[in-house]
Amino acid sequence: MSEKTKSFNLNLAGKEIVVEVNRFQTQADGSVVVKMGDTVVMANATMGRKADLSRDYFPLNVDYEENFYAAGKIKGSRFVKRKGRPSDDAILIARLIDRSLRPLFPKGMRNPVQVVSTALSFDKENDADILSAIAGSVALAISGIPFDGPVGVVKIGLNGSNFVVNPTIAEQETSSLDLVVSTANNKVVMVEAGANEITEDQMNSAIDLGKKMGQEIADFIGRIVKEINPETLEVVVAEEYSGELAQKIADDLENEITDALQANGFKAEIKKALDIVLEEKIYANLPEENDEKIKEEQKLEAEKAFDGAIKKIIRKNVLEKDLRIGGRGIDDIRELSAEVGALPRTHGSGYFQRGETRALTIATLGSPSEGIIIDGMKEEVTKKFIHYYSFPPYSVGETSPLRSPGRREIGHGALAEKALAPVIPSKEQFPYTILLQTEIISSSGSTSMGSTCGSTLALMDAGVPIKRPVAGIAMGLMTNPENIDEFKVLTDIRDMEDFGGDMDFKVTGTEEGITALQMDTKLHGLPDGCVEETLKKAKIARMKILEVIKQAIVAPRQELSQFAPRIEIIKINPEKIGELIGPGGKNINGIIDKTGAKIDIEDDGSVFISSDEAKNVEMAVKLVKDCTRVIAPGELYEGKVAKIMDFGAFVEIGAKSGLVHISEISTNRVDRVEDVLKVGDIVKVKVKNIDNMGRINLTMKI
């Protein structure tokens, strides 16, 4: 360890977190190593010194590097051993860190900032995700980059009735809650959760605990910053378009803009009405200018100020009049509809509409072997339930090249998957691999929640015996810029309310409780009481949506689609697995070739047999049972003649063969075996006896 390295320790709920500053002395503005047990994460924060004021967004890039070497593993691919595209898990962790940090940078900041968290060592007990978020927060806090942190990030589990702070991986496996809370300045900044139908009160208590523990971490990081005493770096901040010009437009055109925002609620109509106001009331009053370039610049500035004015008026109408876009009230949900069976040849389909947001989900059922093998830093696992989310450009009336899923699509897909996971039946109840694909047909906000509802419909249409339907709702927030404690929580936010508001809080669940949360905010933290109110209102909205889902389909279908594969499970003695497989896979491959069925064998003796044709499944089941039967004297078999000798014939019965002596072929005298039998004949035999060497003697004298 270098002499310049400084080490800091925090005992949080009985677990020690160690922070080492400048442990490896990178050239980043801030560099730290964070440890818990033998799990070690390094984070580096760097800021570009040149700002690009032409951008209308803050260029923050957060990455999480998941390394196999951290767990002493070599990447599983046969041909490529180095890292390639980040795994979905790595992308989701990076998004979690990003959403914890992004709200706390100065508004209008245009200097590029990059935060890279790298897993260096993994002890298979302490997860690297929370340490990566803490490390990113420390690296930023000591870097001198302007940042209203630090942020404390903590995970909360629930085992029985007891909350667990930063549970181990083993504790997470038995936990009914997987909650991450990010806290700064004694306020909640970010929430992410998966839950097994827990109540709103339980969730609120868990978030309160997470806020408290997170603030302990933030205070700890604050002490580190005080000792390091970094020099603040200079940044260039772009002018915010919510300034004087935007305020003047809002004051002068409040009635006109409000009327335009009430134009029947459809995006195209609202845009058309606002464009008329922009053209007739703003462009028409710009100073006369002969230079076209200057004229376009004036229009651009006016358009940006107009956009700022629209956001101000949306906020004012909510706070002062409880009036929302399209004339909705604070707690009103847009028009809802649900449909199942929209597509004729798929295994299941669901179409869900909330206002102009429309999600079409298709369910596909497959054999157990069609699951996805996840080979990551942790143990290799096979996923049997998968949800994908697609957001094509036409869904928002735009054009762009179609590419592989981006971080947003991966994040939204994972959220819907997390929301539905608690109601998916076990492998024993329903042995299929389940793949859901949601196509966002049209978007006006809250597409991930539309995806969740459409997926519930598709699952029930496919005959998947889910415990209960799941619905989701996105909640928003408008606060008074002068006093954050004056706020209104909005039910079912649309796109303009998301862009111009302060919070996007997604809540999913069943009639019994919450299954997932995801919250991010543009504020430096939510006002007190906001989380509790949001969860209460979200439950009311969720119940209304569940009623609409039940009107479309009240319960999972009793029969699978005729186009879905059929699967049957049989149990065999695990000691018989070798006999079923046979030397070099001879027996199992023979059954597969003969029947065309897919056969999956597990270590506990479970055999999954699947095929699109029910008759193929029946045939394969019979052959597997024959192959693994315990052979005993007196048993009857139908077997194939495999070999003929002078003294008799060998007949295959199941995975073994037995001898039919020439004297046992018929009740009549047989001089030559070939006169009666030939190789390939199917004959009926009975087990006569099994000698002390395990040899099977058969008879055809039945």
Beta carbons within 10 angstroms of residue 683's beta carbon: 18
Any idea how long the chain is?
702
Strands 503-509, 471-480: parallel, antiparallel or unpaired by DSSP? antiparallel
- Phi and psi (nearest 5°) for 27? -95, 10
Q: What DSSP element (H or E) covers 418?
A: helix 407-420
d(CA 267, CA 277): 15
Alpha carbon 391 to its chain's center: 15
d(CA 504, CA 526): 11
Mean pLDDT across 574-581: 89
The percent of residues in the chain predicted with pLDDT above 90, rounded, is 76
Domains and CATH numbers, the chain: 6-228 (3.30.230.70), 244-327 (1.10.10), 336-552 (3.30.230.70), 566-628 (3.30.1370.10), 636-699 (2.40.50.140)
pLDDT at 1 over 80: no
Report pLDDT digits (tens) over 327-340.
999 999 999 999 99
Mean pLDDT across 660-680: 92
Query: DSSP letter at 558?
Result: S
| Rg over CA atoms, the chain | 32
Residue 166 pLDDT class (50, 70, 90 cuts): very high
Residue with tokens 């999956």: 600
CB 465 within 8 A of CB 429: yes
Report pLDDT digits (tens) over 278-289.
999 988 888 887
Mean pLDDT across 461-475: 98
The percent of residues in the chain predicted with pLDDT above 70, rounded, is 98
pLDDT at 146 over 60: yes
Alpha carbons within 13 angstroms on the beta-carbon side of residue 397 total 7
Residue 3 pLDDT class (50, 70, 90 cuts): low
**Cα pseudo-dihedral 437, 439, 445, 448, rounded to 10:** 0
CB 217 within 8 A of CB 17: yes
pLDDT at 515 over 70: yes
pLDDT at 463 over 80: yes
Nearest residue to 438 via CA among 477, 479, 474, 410: 410
DSSP 262-325: TSTT-HHHHHHHHHHHIIIIIGGGSPP-S-HHHHHHHHHHHHHHHHHHHHHHHHHHHHHH---G
Residue 228 pLDDT class (50, 70, 90 cuts): very high
Strands 682-690, 696-699: parallel, antiparallel or unpaired by DSSP? antiparallel
| Predicted pLDDT of residue 2 | 53
d(CA 567, CA 560): 11
CB 113 within 8 A of CB 141: no
Report pLDDT digits (tens) over 31-89.
999 999 999 999 999 999 999 888 888 999 999 999 888 988 887 666 666 677 888 99
| Predicted pLDDT of residue 90 | 93
Partners of 60 in the beta sheet? 113
Nearest residue to 493 via CA among 481, 520, 475: 475
For residue 136, what are the CA distances in angstroms to 48, 181, 345, 653? 17, 15, 48, 65
CB 75 within 8 A of CB 82: yes
How far separated are the first and last CA of the chain, in Å rounded? 84
Tokens of 320: 């002062």
Partners of 65 in the beta sheet? 118
Mean pLDDT across 533-543: 98
Dmax (CA) for the chain in angstroms is 120
pLDDT at 142 over 60: yes
CB 364 within 8 A of CB 343: no
- Phi and psi (nearest 5°) for 306? -65, -40
